[in-house]
Structure 1
């Protein structure tokens, strides 16, 4: 009884699976980096801190407020940037109302 044997066909040449997974991981890591617009916590924190410190305690308060504001603004900006939390402002300078789409409108 003769049994016919089949020869295995060679696989087509393609990049290794590990290389595909590594390139996909690198691509996703590059896409998940925060944009440059998200890294403004240090500068804005220093500006607001120096303004408030100067308003309350004069030039010395402005210098101290700028340093503290830069530290706190940088920390908050870094945490929000890493976690992807949007910075939302709920403080309004006028009297108004929220519409059905949760947008604030001033009376004037």
Structure 2
């Protein structure tokens, strides 16, 4: 009759505990997620632009409300663009020209 060999569980090296390994894994996961946090800049810029426009139009109360609304909208747009991978494109004119008094662009050629 053949006897099966006895298999034992692997032991951690001396000085390492399960908590230490779990903490190291958590730190590694946090470091891997840092580049994704850079996409949250829409919140800050949205709050800045919203508070500026609100303050310009409706005074201090408008600035406070504009900052809150701008942070919400900026965060939502930044999150959607970040999750879907949509690049933020700026509109550029393909011709040389000028803006008139009504903020309309006119081409020379």
The normalised TM-score by structure 2 is: 0.51
Unaligned stretches of 5+ residues in structure 1: 1-29, 98-106
CA shift digits 1:65-95 (9 cap, x unpaired)? 0000000000000000000001112167xx8
TM-score by length of 1: 0.52
Please give the alpha-carbon distance, in whole angstroms, between the structure 1 residues aligned to 2:73 and 2:79: 10
Q: Larger % of helix: which?
A: 2
Q: Displacement, 1:44?
A: 0.5
- Matched residue count: 66
What's the C-alpha RMSD, in Å, of the aligned pairs?
Answer: 2.8
Q: Deviations over 1:3-39 (max 9, x none)?
A: xxxxxxxxxxxxxxxxxxxxxxxxxxx69x9634322
SS of corresponding position for 2:58: helix
Q: Is the 8 A contact 1:46 1:67 kept in 2?
A: yes
Structure 2 residue ranges without an equivalent (≥5): 1-31, 98-107
